[in-house]
Amino acid sequence: MASLLRLHGDRLAVIGSQGEYVQICSSLVTGLLTAVNDDWHALTENAPETTLASRVKRLSARFAPPLLLAMTALLLPLIPQFHDSRATIYSSLLPLAVLMALRAPEAVANMIRGVIDKVSTGPRE
């Protein structure tokens, strides 16, 4: 299902005419009516096959950025200029990597970033 919706979204991004737009909208309406009629077999007949390569691609697109951020948090303190800031780097970047991996809503992520900023800068005098 998700792959079919992504295909429609990809096609919408590159449409070249009103006719293509109408065709995509018609396909979406047909799909919605099929889902409402609980005909899931017919709905997935034209879906692309999910392969190992497509799953790996989708997972790597989701988890590569947070993994890169976590690796940066772990490796950055190894550079002599950042060695004294290890705790601050860990406490700032690792929670953000977790939030990215969990796809936390932006409002939640901003609240947590604010708390991390306050804690990492210490009390203000």
Q: Which domain holds residue 110?
A: 60-121
- Has residue 53 been placed in a domain? no
Are 74 and 112 contained in the same domain?
yes
Instruction: State pLDDT tens for residues 59-69.
Output: 888 899 999 99
- Has residue 12 been placed in a domain? yes
Per-residue pLDDT at 122 exceeds 70: no
Are 108 and 69 contained in the same domain?
yes
> How many distinct structural domains can be found in the chain?
2
Are 32 and 84 contained in the same domain?
no
Distances in Å between the Cα of 23 and the Cα atoms of 6, 10, 31 are 16, 14, 12
Q: What does the alpha-carbon distance between residue 66 and residue 44 come to, in Å, rounded to a whole number?
A: 32
pTM for this one?
0.54
Does residue 16 sit in helix, strand or coil? coil
In one letter, which amino acid is 29?
V
- Has residue 50 been placed in a domain? no
Are 68 and 35 contained in the same domain?
no
Are 38 and 65 contained in the same domain?
no
Are 68 and 39 contained in the same domain?
no
Percent of the chain with pLDDT over 90: 14
Rg (CA), the chain: 22
**CB count, 10 Å around CB of 68?**
12
Instruction: State pLDDT tens for residues 73-107.
Output: 999 999 998 889 888 888 888 988 888 888 877 87
- Has residue 55 been placed in a domain? no
Per-residue pLDDT at 125 exceeds 60: no
